[in-house]
Structure 1
Amino acid sequence: MAPEHRSGPAVDTRSVLGKVAAVLYSFTADDHGVGLAELGRRTGLAKGTLHRVLSEMVEVRLLERTGNGYRLSGQVFQLGMRASVERGLLEIATPFLEDLYERTHELVHLGVLEGTEVVYVAKIGGHRQAVSPSRIGGRMPLHCTAIGKALLGSSPPELLARVVEAGLTRRTAHTITAPGLLRRQLERVSRSGVAFEVEESAAGIACVAAPVLDPADRPVAAISVTGPVTRFRPEDHAVVVKAAAAGIAGTLARRAALLQRD
């Protein structure tokens, strides 16, 4: 049977490595749990062979079992990060994120834009950190997160149009779902260089974020600080978040200039 779905290149499934690659490539960014039958349809592997491959991939932590099937593990994300373009960003950003945590003692995030979502590539927090739905390698909508709005506010208007077209999903009673209201908020983000969220992605948390811009003012990433609404005032941390984002941007630009000279 020929596979009907594949997110990566075609592979020869006659080898063990090919079978493993077929399974890995069969997952999409939106999958949270895929059943055996669906994986069989996507990979074209026989049920018995597929079940054996899946079991071995779970054993070596390339996959995780869920209530409704299988999903890629956090280990796969970590492996990808070692070879991805975000690796240089993470290496440069980490000292700034750690300094930001020491200054605020609140939850600190680094996120990058992918499609119409933010993908979290770093998360630093301590025992006082807020309970946040974010996780390393996880995704959140752009329109209801401070990092997402920081990225949106510094992106071309076409991105906002795509986000609105996809639908402004309501996650809490405070989520902005009116396109006009979101657009006006993003105009303020563009002018000030900082974005705010108060209980828009999850109840009980507030965030402040700033974009990390390249020399052409395009967003490379964004960073945020998150705390519980009971004691955290995001506006009080806007200056240090913006300064950390500028520090990351400056260091990235200097490294890029050095590489070009070499």
Structure 2
Amino acid sequence: MTDSDNPPVKAVQTSHRVLEAIVESGGVTLADLDDQLDHSRSSIHNHLSALTQLGYVIKDGQTYRTSLRFLEIGATARTHFDLYNVGRPHAENLSDATGLSASLLTFEREQLTCLYTASAMDVNGSPITTGDVLPLHCTAPGKAILAAHSAEEAAVLLSESERTPCTENTQSTEALRESLEDIRTQGWAVDREEWQTGIRCIATAVSDTDGNLHGALCVTGPTDSLSGKRFEQDVPGLLISSAQEIRSKLS
């Protein structure tokens, strides 16, 4: 089947599959895509040519890879989020105050995506980086988002999301549902190495003064930096204070 045989919507879906294959592999040849996708070689080549002409794909020798056009699009897209525009300086101040990485995340298309991370100065890299999509069931910001919904809404989100255990500490579905009630009462959620071994996280949902949910604010760091009173009281207090400052400035 050639591109001329494809309805417009189906052609877009094919381009999407080609892009996904390139993203997942980091770079592929036409022969690789021919093996992976259920489309004719000529059809795949046509889509690669179109994506290359449009600037979404770069051809390097025989290998195709995604271009920085996506970075440009993503950077522009996040400026439309009030949580990013208002919250960025507060995340940076929170990171400075705690010595931990502080992240802003938004909930869109039933996915939890990181808009921005202020990394701690003395830490090499952060567990959460811009553009990361986090699971709801085993991360502190995911739990905070779930708890910001009603029990019924949270149950629907849990039934539709992937709940594969990430570590041996990942909560069971029943334990998670029970913990959501505690989160609603205390105002913040924690992740005790439930997502990544050796990493803990504390998060709270961020809404505006009208009660509209914008996303979550979280701090993340090694378990030895988040334990005892610091984990139970000090950092949560700073986190809630920062979230309240953001909330007061969100329209």
Which category of TM-score, normalised to the shorter sequence, fits these structures? 0.7 to 0.9
1:109 and 1:224 in contact (8 A); partners too: yes
Structure 1, 81-90 or 167-176: larger mean CA deviation: 81-90
Cα RMSD after superposing both structures: 3.5
Residue type at the aligned position of 2:241: A
Whole-angstrom CA distance in 1 between matches of 2:203 and 2:145: 9
Q: 5 Å matches for 1:120-135?
A: 120-129=114-123, 132-135=126-129
Which residue of the partner structure matches residue 170 of structure 2?
Answer: 175
Which residue of the partner structure matches residue 251 of structure 1?
Answer: 249
Gaps of 5+ in 2: none
Q: Which of 2, 6, 27 pairs up with 2:6?
A: 2
Gaps of 5+ in 1: 12-20, 254-262
Whole-angstrom CA distance in 1 between matches of 2:195 and 2:67: 24
**In structure 2, do the counterparts of structure 1 residues 225 and 84 end up closer, same or farther at CA, with 3 Å as the change threshold?**
closer
1:155-192 Cα offsets, whole Å, 9 max, x none, are 1334321233235210000011x222111111111111
Residue type at the aligned position of 2:220: T
Whole-angstrom CA distance in 1 between matches of 2:213 and 2:64: 33
Q: Which of 41, 45, 48 pairs up with 1:48?
A: 45
Residue type at the aligned position of 1:47: I
Q: Which of 16, 27, 32 pairs up with 2:24?
A: 32
Q: Quick one: percent identity of the two aligned structures?
A: 26
Report how many aligned residue pairs link the two structures. Answer: 231
**Normalising to structure 1: TM-score of the pair?**
0.73
1:138-167 Cα offsets, whole Å, 9 max, x none, are 201111111111111111334321233235
Whole-angstrom CA distance in 1 between matches of 2:38 and 2:215: 36
Which residue of the partner structure matches residue 161 of structure 1?
Answer: 155
Measured after TM superposition, the shift of residue 22 of structure 1 is: 7.8
Residue type at the aligned position of 2:104: L
Q: Does 1:90 align with 2:84?
A: yes
Whole-angstrom CA distance in 1 between matches of 2:156 and 2:178: 17
Q: Pick 1 or 2: higher relative contact order, CA cutoff 8 A, min separation 6.
A: 2
**Normalising to structure 2: TM-score of the pair?**
0.76
2:100 and 2:120 in contact (8 A); partners too: yes
Which residue of the partner structure matches residue 259 of structure 1?
Answer: none
1:106 and 1:130 in contact (8 A); partners too: no
Residue type at the aligned position of 2:199: I
Runs of 4+ in 1 over 6 A off after TM superposition: none
Residue type at the aligned position of 2:236: A
